[in-house]
Amino acid sequence: EADIYQTPRYLVIGTGKKITLECSQTMGHDKMYWYQQDPGMELHLIHYSYGVNSTEKGDLSSESTVSRIRTEHFPLTLESARPSHTSQYLCASSSDRGEAFFGQGTRLTVV
Amino acid sequence: EDKVVQSPLSLVVHEGDTVTLNCSYEVTNFRSLLWYKQEKKAPTFLFMLTSSGIEKKSGRLSSILDKKELFSILNITATQTGDSAVYLCAFMKTSYDKVIFGPGTSLSVIP
């Protein structure tokens, strides 16, 4: 069973606030990812990491930032939330074999 | 530019029908193709395909990859209402280990 956790599951926050979405995995995977998905729409990769101290931007431009100080932890931060950031954010990690395992997602609403 | 195309984008069938979902790709440095099922929240892993012509099976689901023609199919036999979901095709490249997703096929199975 995949052990990857995201918190919070739901977040409603006011414009201009700083937020951090947490993602942790206990599988020892080096590779971790953040995807953004609007309802009924495609998954878009916004950040990924090959391992500790490695982070890269994904294919979809995002105003968020990430850090990877520990293997198991890959938080995503928005310095100043805006309504356009309203979306679902999915964290994933993958083994060397390739299959990615996903957390349950954080549904963010910025009002 | 790498590209993944899934067809059809949406499909409605009756219980008991057999469906075939298609995924075609144009990817440089292709490493593997992955299929995922996404119901309400996060995608769940179904298959990883690396070699041509080898069918992977799991219950009523099966998948095969054709690396010469650059496509994969996902078959679901004797469909059930619980098969209703979005089925995502994704790929990984040898040059970097991002998992990139296609747009998905939305399958609805009606009683």
Residues of B with Cβ-Cβ distance to A92 under 8 angstroms: 42, 99
Check residues B93 and A71 and name the one with the higher pLDDT.
A71
Residues of B with Cβ-Cβ distance to A42 under 8 angstroms: 101-104
Residues 6+ apart with CB under 8 A from A93: A4, A25, A27, A29, A31, A32, A33, A74, A100, A101
- B83-to-A24, A104, B64, B86, B109 alpha-carbon distances in Å: 29, 19, 19, 9, 7
How confident is residue A99, by pLDDT bands cut at 50, 70 and 90? Answer: confident
Residues of B with Cβ-Cβ distance to A100 under 8 angstroms: 34, 36, 43, 45, 90, 99
Position A47 scores a pLDDT of: 94
Q: Is the pLDDT of residue A2 over 60?
A: no
Q: Which of B41, B45, B103 sits opposite A100 (nearest CB)?
A: B45
* Residue A102 in contact with partner chain B when CB distance is under 8 A: yes
Please give chain B's pLDDT, 111 residues, in tens. 788 999 999 999 999 999 999 999 998 888 889 999 998 778 888 999 988 888 999 999 999 999 888 999 999 999 999 999 999 999 887 766 677 889 999 999 999
* Residue A59 in contact with partner chain B when CB distance is under 8 A: yes
Name the residue of chain A whose CA is nearest to B86's CA: A40
Sign for the CA dihedral angle at B57, B36, B87, B30 comes to negative
Q: Is the pLDDT of residue A42 over 80?
A: yes
Q: Which of A48, A90, A98 sits opposite B48 (nearest CB)?
A: A98
| Average predicted confidence (pLDDT) for chain A | 91
| Nearest-CA distance B44 → chain A (Å) | 7
| Out of A1-10, A18-27, A71-80, least confident range | A1-10
